[in-house]
Amino acid sequence: MKTEELTADKKSIDKMDDLKSKKKHAYRELEEAEDKMLRIDDVENELIEAVNVCEDDLMEVEMLLQDALFTAYGDYKDKITVINSILKEKTNEYIKFALE
């Protein structure tokens, strides 16, 4: 589970850094444009699209992390079930031994 968490953190940070980079380049492009008023709509649309892509990517990362969490929980629950079964068996053995 720890590996999945670290991987998800790294992917999330990378996605956010990509978005920041696109934003920075868009602002720089807008500053250098000769006719800023014509270019501003295009830059705005590009940034909106970049945000939407980033949201989708982050949602995918979250879903993968949730899947890893559910898998880890299932493994933990299975191990606890086995331990409880062994404890019941040992308790029954002790009760039989004590009654003899």
- Give the pLDDT of residue 8: 87
**C-alpha dihedral sign at 79, 82, 88, 90:** negative
Give the model's pLDDT for residue 29: 87
How does pLDDT run across 8-61, given as a tens digit for each residue?
Answer: 889 999 999 999 999 999 889 888 888 878 888 888 999 999 999 999 999 999
Do residues 60 and 12 make contact, with C-beta atoms less than 8 angstroms apart? no
Task: Round the CA-based radius of gyration of the chain to a whole number and report it.
Answer: 27
The residue with tokens 């939407």 is: 52
Residue range 1-8: average pLDDT?
Answer: 83
Taking the domains of the chain in order of start, what are their residue ranges? Answer: 2-74
pTM for this prediction: 0.68
Distance of alpha carbon 29 from alpha carbon 40, whole angstroms: 10
Residues near 62 by beta carbon (within 8 Å), at least 6 away in sequence: 8
42 in Cβ contact with 73 (< 8 Å)? no
Count of C-beta atoms within a 10 Å radius of residue 69: 13
